[in-house]
Homo-oligomer: A and B are copies of this chain.
Amino acid sequence: MYYGGIETGGTKMICAVGDGDGNIMGRVKIPTGMPDNTIPEMIDFFKTWDIKALGIGSFGPLDLKKNSVTYGQILNTPKEGWDGCDLVGQFERALGVPVALDTDVNVAILGEVKYGAAKGCESAIYITVGTGIGVGVFVSDRLLHGLTHPESGHILVERNPRDNFAGCCKCHRNCLEGLASGVALEKRYGVKAEKLYDREDVWELESDYLASAITNYILAYSPEKIVLWGGVMHQEKIFDMIREKAKKLLGGYITSPVFDNMADYIVKPGLGDDSGIVGACELAKMGV
């Protein structure tokens, strides 16, 4: 039995087919153009497989309310051409199988909870620090939805008084994404994050912001595991800085043995860069 999975992205679409047990049997990457060209290419790939259902993890914002008239659509995204794109409807009609949709980060934590570093957890979160910052949330054994979906990458954090950077978020003066995303790093320092690896001051500030946000996620979600990844996290030392600072900020308020070994609490993904696509296939399986 095969299940299709899609991870949408600003530059590429990953389409894959999984065996329902966490293994990817085939995949393609398709450059993200305009929907009218890109989506038919994606559909062509899935037509070569006999899939039972499709799961999509997408950039957002998304309408995930099943009783809404715009259910299954990408909402007001800045990505040209994709605003109002009916992801669920188009794939359902073309492939004739059930289609499930969730955020890119929600499917990533689903992949990690089922087959990765958070395997077996009833609650865990996936934080990606890349171009933007996103947080996928799995609590009470389910992916978190509500009014919309979690947007914890934008939580407000305390600005370092010496940080004069204006932030790169159009909506918030001092949200995490605006101060600590890859785009924020590039705008603050004038070069991309990977050119900054030797700059200690950069990672002191970056880990301050990330640890502060993670402390709030721990207080808010009470996760059993925190999976941390994304382009900005492709380096060793910042993990330990974040672990140490988050523990300090928690101040011993929550009592749990997990805080005795932070290296096993705030971790890299078990599935590497495949958390999202494996989770998308799992979402398909769950939807059937």
Contact A145 B140 (CB under 8 A): yes
Contact B158 A224 (CB under 8 A): no
Given contacts A123-B147, A147-B224, A256-B147, contact A219 B157 (CB under 8 A): no
Chain A, residues 127-140, CB within 8 Å of chain B (1/0): the string is 00000000001011
Q: Which residues of B contact A219 (CB under 8 A)?
A: 150-152, 154-155
Contact A147 B258 (CB under 8 A): yes
Identity of the chain B residue whose Cβ is nearest the Cβ of A63 in the assembled complex:
B255
Interface of A, secondary structure class, is loop
Min Cβ gap A254→B in Å is 6
**Distance of A250 Cα from B155 Cα, bound (Å):** 9
Contact A171 B253 (CB under 8 A): yes
Interface centre among A144, A158, A220 (most CB of B within 10 A): A220
Min Cβ gap A50→B in Å is 32
Q: Which residues of B contact A258 (CB under 8 A)?
A: 147
Contact A144 B140 (CB under 8 A): yes
- Category for how many chain A residues contact B: 35 or more
Q: Which residues of B contact A161 (CB under 8 A)?
A: 161
Chain A, residues 205-223, CB within 8 Å of chain B (1/0): the string is 0000000100111111111
Contact A156 B255 (CB under 8 A): no
Contact A61 B254 (CB under 8 A): yes
Q: Which residues of B contact A170 (CB under 8 A)?
A: 251
Given contacts A139-B139, A156-B249, contact A222 B171 (CB under 8 A): no
Given contacts A156-B215, A171-B250, A212-B156, contact A256 B148 (CB under 8 A): yes
Q: Is A159 an interface residue (CB 8 A)?
A: yes
Min Cβ gap A96→B in Å is 29
Closest 7 CB pairs of A and B: A146-B222, A171-B251, A123-B146, A171-B253, A158-B158, A155-B216, A140-B142
Which chain A residues have a beta carbon within 8 Å of chain B's beta carbons? 61, 75-76, 122-123, 137, 139-140, 142-152, 154-159, 161, 170-172, 174, 212, 215-224, 249-256, 258
